Structure 1
Amino acid sequence: MGVILYAYYAGCDPFTAGRIQNVDQILPYFIMDTLGNKKGIPGLFLACAFSGSLSTISSGLNSMAAVIIEDIYKGLMRRKLNRDQQGFVSKLCSVVVGVIVMLLTYFISYLGSVINAAISLSSTLCGPIMGVFFLGFFFPKANRLGALIGFFSSLALQIWIFIGVQLTKHQRSNNRLPLSIANCTDINVLEIMNSSRTTTAATHIK
């Protein structure tokens, strides 16, 4: 999808042209740009996109609640629950995890693009988890202590890399593919270019 969007807007970048305020708005803009003249189709597409996102979030919350109950509450704490208690605790865990996720969105808003932030955070967690799976698959004699030490060591390293990337992202050069607004027909290209140069010069002066 990203390659398609880049190829479609390579000659008239909506972000550079000021048609969108954030790069995360490129997909809804593309839908309205290509299907806006067909009544109902853009809304149907966006509804499908939101439905897919909500289903993923709901399954993730339910999975987290199940892990907390089975592995932590019943496993580590060795507590016993009847059916009604387990249902109540599961719902409570889903609500708590959902609130935590909503609070984390405030933190993610400072990480730039939502897609990049989501990929970075998921990679930070997926690496150690995959390592534990490989440890159990290829080394049957591995014990619980070794798996925990390896998991938390890997997690600490991944978090260190993630924080370092976020702190130094403004020091790295921009390696994005070139974009242009030369083919935009409904904007003043020279005015936008002059405005961009003025902003760049002011930034260098500061």
Structure 2
Amino acid sequence: MSFSFLLLTVTPPVAGVLLGYLCGGRLSGLRAVRIRALWLIWLAAAVQFAQYSAPDVRHLVEDVAGVPMLALVFGIVFGWLTVNLGHWPAAIRWAGAVIVLGAAMNALVIGLNGRMPYDSAAATAAGSTPGLEGPKNAPADAGTRLAPLGDIIPVPLINKVASPGDVLISGGTVALVALAMRRPRRDPAAPAPAVVPATV
């Protein structure tokens, strides 16, 4: 697993924490958001790790399931968000919906093409070598389906190319963390909580 992948994974939640603090939030606010089925996130991480580190397992799973392992990762994350969205506050729910949309876009283009297609010109602009193939990516060509949903956005700082779905996932993650950190505000019109005097 490359440093750039870890950077892309860690940066959105860290940026969300920084934004949350700038907006007056606190990390303690995250405890108020109930997280269900957290094991699905660990499962998605394990599948992602196996995709890069265990090619024999990847080939076996893809032959049996008939879908790329990366599509399975997005499917698992989609399932986890579906389980949780209905129990989150409205604002956080919208951020989660953006993540779901981004994951669905990535899963769709990967499912149709077997791997995430990338634009060779964008890869060149990002400082990466075009034309290379791997377990996750393959260069787009005339037969690529839904190529605009593939990796078409150059990210020169890390020599990578991102997809529109990646942008939605990252942006939604930043918003979700920042919104979850907000401290609940008491309605000024609401009566103050009653103070029960201590008994001696």
Query: Scaled by the length of structure 2, what TM-score is found?
Result: 0.28
Q: Which structure dedicates a bigger proportion of its chain to helix? A: 1
User: What TM-score do you get using the length of structure 1 for normalisation?
Assistant: 0.28
Tell me which structure has the larger Cα radius of gyration: 1
